[in-house]
Structure 1
Amino acid sequence: MVLLRHAKYIGYSFLPLLLLILLCQGVTSSSDIGRQAISAIPASSSTTSPAAFTIMTFNIHHGEGLDGRVNIQRIAELIQNEKADVITLQEVDRYRWRSGYVDQAKELAELLGMDMRFAPSLSYTAGQYGNAILSRYPIEDSNYTLLPGNKETRSLLEVKIKVNSELVRIATTHLGLSKEDRRLQLARISEMVTNYDDPLVVAGDFNMELDAFPFKIDTDQLTNVPLRAGVQSTFVDGKRIDHIFTNRKKVQTSWAIPTIFSDHFPVITLIRLESPVQV
């Protein structure tokens, strides 16, 4: 059984939840990307309020689920079902053999009818691997920066969107596996995103729980959005390593969505734009 092959990574105590997820979500009949005739999935047409938007962060594991299948369509359907306005993605493949030589960010954007930007962290002879941001609001500007570190290269992708008339900055990253790399990368990110007056959200896979951050997050600058009661993990080993930070004061809790479509659970939250953290 495919799930049992992952048991050494997730712990056997976590298998009942995954089996329940499998029964609830089901799997598609084909494991090939782009082999099915799929119709476009329309983007969300309404926000929760004029002064708010929903954002999801999701490490998609190059589209490979715990059942061993690479399938971008079901990830698009999961995102659409949650009606997120902005989605930050990590571990996104672009023209790589293991994922069928598909530009995954572009395919997701087309399925969802969203604007998209991609930032490579690694470039190969054939293909790239990195982060992406999808938005139902037009992306007005974007840039990306390669982050310091001694192991696998990581990056920070930033975009600017307008929610109604308000400019919002969105950033996403996927930090390294070593403690020292994460320390260097967080320090660089902190230099880049602090002191923004515009609404700011920094979301992604930080590869560590909040209490393991190498230095305390300055809550005068950014606030971590907590997970509400229920599913408290974002990774199949039971830890929360995917986070959403914002400089807005009025935020609600985030919630994780159990799935077998990746080894991470997507996290979604509502960001209100009324006031910054500093008061």
Structure 2
Amino acid sequence: MRIASYNIRKAVGLDWRRDPHRIVDVIGEIEADIVVLQEADKRLGQRPGVLPLDRLRDEHGFILARHALSGQSHGWHGNAILYRARRFRPPGTERIPLPAREPRGAIAAHFDVNGFAVVGAHLALTTGIRKQQLHALCAHAGNSGIPTIIAGDFNHWGRHLPAGGHEVITPGLSFHASRRVAALDRFVLCGDVTALTFGVHTSLKARRASDHLPVVLDFDIPGDRSKC
């Protein structure tokens, strides 16, 4: 299976135009089974989602996992998860509160066909708060008892992400799209998840659609579902 994580910056590209169809084009290029998004909703008012869900469904087969508290948002605190309808039944969903000085939270989708979970997160800029959030996410994944992939924008500029002994996959430099200097977007694997290949999606359109580039992981869930 393939999972991607992508901070879409509310669909505002490097030309400062909000172009959600450009984001959909990039998602289509990746050919993932699951896509975890950050900054998928606007920040003000009802926080409406920015993407054309009908096009994602009709052209690429993606369905939005339901996390939103309002009918206009795509997710929760800007986090959203898309999945291929032909591959998965509708997942169970969960909102995960995180310690923060500003509104922050993570979301989870539980895919019962293969018995695994995906957590999407966008962590804080402040180092101390970010460490608390990562600890909370790893503890949540560890307590779930099923293989879990934590994906998102970790806002961590260092080389090594402290993930409590869980395997960290750093696909490469994903920020800034115009001049790649930091690996902010990563995956953390908890339990019986095997990373196969990974990388940063660097197409011409991706280098214009957002200030982040998507990161991609091909993975396997072996038959032995050992706990985290």
In the superposition, the TM-score normalised over structure 1's length comes to 0.66
Instruction: Indicate the SS of the match to 1:271.
Output: strand
- Matches of 1:110 and 1:249 in 2, distance apart? 28
Q: 1:141: which partner in 2?
A: 92
Deviation at 1:102, TM superposition (A): 5.0
Q: 1:207: which partner in 2?
A: 155
Contact 1:89/1:132 (<8 A) preserved? yes
1:81 matched to 2:21: no
- Matches of 2:170 and 2:226 in 1, distance apart? 15
Contact 1:59/1:266 (<8 A) preserved? yes
Q: 1:235: which partner in 2?
A: 175
- Runs of 4 or more, structure 1, over 6 Å off, are 276-279
Instruction: Indicate the SS of the match to 1:76.
Output: helix
| Letter of the structure 1 residue corresponding to residue 182 of structure 2 | K
Equivalent of 1:161 in 111, 117, 127: 111
Aligned-residue sequence identity (percent) comes to 23
Structure whose residues are more often helix by fraction: 1
Deviation at 1:94, TM superposition (A): 5.2
- Matches of 2:168 and 2:43 in 1, distance apart? 34
Name which one, 1 or 2, has greater alpha-carbon Rg.
1
Deviation at 1:185, TM superposition (A): 1.1
Deviation at 1:209, TM superposition (A): 3.4
Mind listing any 5+ residue stretches in structure 1 that lack a counterpart?
Answer: 1-52
Change (3 A) 1:54 1:189: same
- Matches of 1:187 and 1:159 in 2, distance apart? 19
Instruction: Indicate the SS of the match to 1:77.
Output: helix
- Matches of 1:212 and 1:278 in 2, distance apart? 24
Change (3 A) 1:191 1:278: closer
Deviation at 1:95, TM superposition (A): 8.8
Cα deviations across residues 92-134 of structure 1 (Å, max 9, x unaligned)?
115958x9x655374564353322125469x9xx978510000
In the superposition, the TM-score normalised over structure 2's length comes to 0.80
Q: 2:197: which partner in 1?
A: 253
- Matches of 2:105 and 2:49 in 1, distance apart? 21
Change (3 A) 1:212 1:272: closer
- Matches of 2:2 and 2:61 in 1, distance apart? 16
1:176 matched to 2:124: yes
Cα deviations across residues 190-214 of structure 1 (Å, max 9, x unaligned)?
221114442211100000135364x
Instruction: Indicate the SS of the match to 1:211.
Output: coil
Greater RCO structure (CA 8 Å; 6+ sep): 2
- Matches of 2:198 and 2:119 in 1, distance apart? 17
Kindly report the root-mean-square deviation, in angstroms, between the aligned alpha carbons of the 2 structures: 3.0
